[in-house]
Amino acid sequence: MEAQRDTQRERLFYIDFLAFFCGQVARKDLVVRFGISEPAATKDLSLYAETAPAMLEYDLRQRCYRYAGGTPHFEHDVDQALFSLSGERAIALDSEHARRLPSSTQFSIKRRVPASLVASLTRAIYQQREVLAKYLSLNRGAEERRLSPTALVHDGLRWHVRCFDHNQERFKDYNLARFQEVADKAASPVNAKNDSEWDAEIDIHLNAHPRAAHPETILWDYDMAQSGKVVRLRQCLVPYFLRHWHIDTTPSATKDPKESQLYLVNREDLLQRGVSAWVFDVDVGPAQAMERDEK
């Protein structure tokens, strides 16, 4: 009986998660996730609605429950929620649920973003909505911005939200930790399919640094052949990748090979394809300098 109650609590937690971070939940979500019958899913949704009456309202037209603006019944870990929404980690009531071995991940000194603010952005992505956001940048400080969030990005160190900036009429990346306020505005005509830099894929050709004392160690470490390795990425993610892996992007491999073990072979090709020039250690104009400072 205790195990049955724990299993049902897990399903109630999942309902809470979908309602808060996606803005809607239906019977099918529970049937697919937990392999239960539709009558059982209906029973869980009814129990959750009784437990947290301010969280859900039923949409007759879509035949699903929608987020009604209430406070979540459960506490949610923001990183777990974001990784789950990105398809990288299963969502569970116990954030340690999937751990099997003693382990540790790199500690972040960035501020912890409130779950309510994150959920406002993830709901906007899921439901294709505009938001009015108060955002802090290194270049312009605090400023109100009209945005259409379209995708989540994790660069290995921090979370970004890919958005269409309606004032500048272009897609940009916004550091999740720099959002101060987010308010739902209206339905948006914009989604990730309109973003050419998100849609386009680019091949990055890498090899061991030409001046490395023992290139065979680097080849082994990164599972590379003598000819190198090709990594395919969305165009807008290339700068994050190059910075995160400390790749030498200089024309003649002038960086210290102990700090930059990998060398970018097709530098000129990436520049010609339109990858942001600021990541290649070249002189950039005011517009690209602004782009760099807002990362």
CATH number for the domain that contains residue 183: 2.30.30.100
pLDDT in tens, the chain (295 residues): 455 578 899 999 999 999 999 999 999 999 999 999 999 999 999 999 999 999 999 999 888 999 999 999 999 999 889 988 887 666 766 654 444 445 455 567 777 899 999 999 999 999 999 999 999 999 889 999 999 999 999 888 889 999 999 999 999 999 999 999 999 999 999 999 999 999 999 999 999 999 999 999 999 999 999 999 999 999 999 999 999 999 999 999 999 999 999 999 999 999 999 888 888 865 544 445 445 445 5
Query: Rounded to an integer, what distance in angstroms lies between the CA atom of residue 78 and that of residue 173?
Result: 19
Phi-psi region of 171 (alpha: psi -120 to 50; beta: other; left: phi over 0): beta
Q: Would 252 be classed as within a structural domain? A: yes
Torsion sign (Cα): 112, 118, 121, 126 = positive
Q: Would 34 be classed as within a structural domain? A: yes
Q: Write down the pLDDT at residue 284.
A: 44
Q: Would 105 be classed as within a structural domain? A: no
Q: Write down the pLDDT at residue 92.
A: 66
Query: Rounded to an integer, what distance in angstroms lies between the CA atom of residue 144 and that of residue 276?
Result: 25
Strands of the chain (E only): list them: 24-25, 56-59, 64-67, 129-137, 141-154, 159-165, 170-175, 179-187, 201-208, 229-234, 262-264
Q: Write down the pLDDT at residue 282.
A: 58
| Contacts for 41 with CB less than 8 Å, ≥ 6 apart | 27, 28, 29, 30, 31
Q: Write down the pLDDT at residue 112.
A: 83
Claim to verify: residue 286 and residue 204 sit in the same structural domain = yes
Domain count, the chain: 3
- Is residue 15 within 8 A of residue 44, CB to CB? The reply is yes
Query: Rounded to an integer, what distance in angstroms lies between the CA atom of residue 120 and that of residue 185?
Result: 11
- Is residue 218 within 8 A of residue 207, CB to CB? The reply is no
**Residue 255 is part of which domain span?**
200-293
* Residue ending a domain, choose from 158, 174, 192: 192
Q: Would 124 be classed as within a structural domain? A: yes
What pTM was estimated for this model as a whole? 0.82
Q: Would 92 be classed as within a structural domain? A: no
Beta-sheet strand order (sheet of 24-25) = 24-25, 64-67, 56-59
Q: Write down the pLDDT at residue 109.
A: 74
Q: Would 96 be classed as within a structural domain? A: no
Q: Write down the pLDDT at residue 286.
A: 46
* Residue ending a domain, choose from 143, 167, 192: 192
Claim to verify: residue 165 and residue 207 sit in the same structural domain = no
SS3 content of the chain, % helix, strand, coil (to 5): 35, 25, 40
Query: Rounded to an integer, what distance in angstroms lies between the CA atom of residue 221 and that of residue 179?
Result: 37
DSSP classification of residue 141: E
Q: Would 170 be classed as within a structural domain? A: yes
Rg from Cα positions in the chain: 22
The SS3 assignment for 293 reads helix
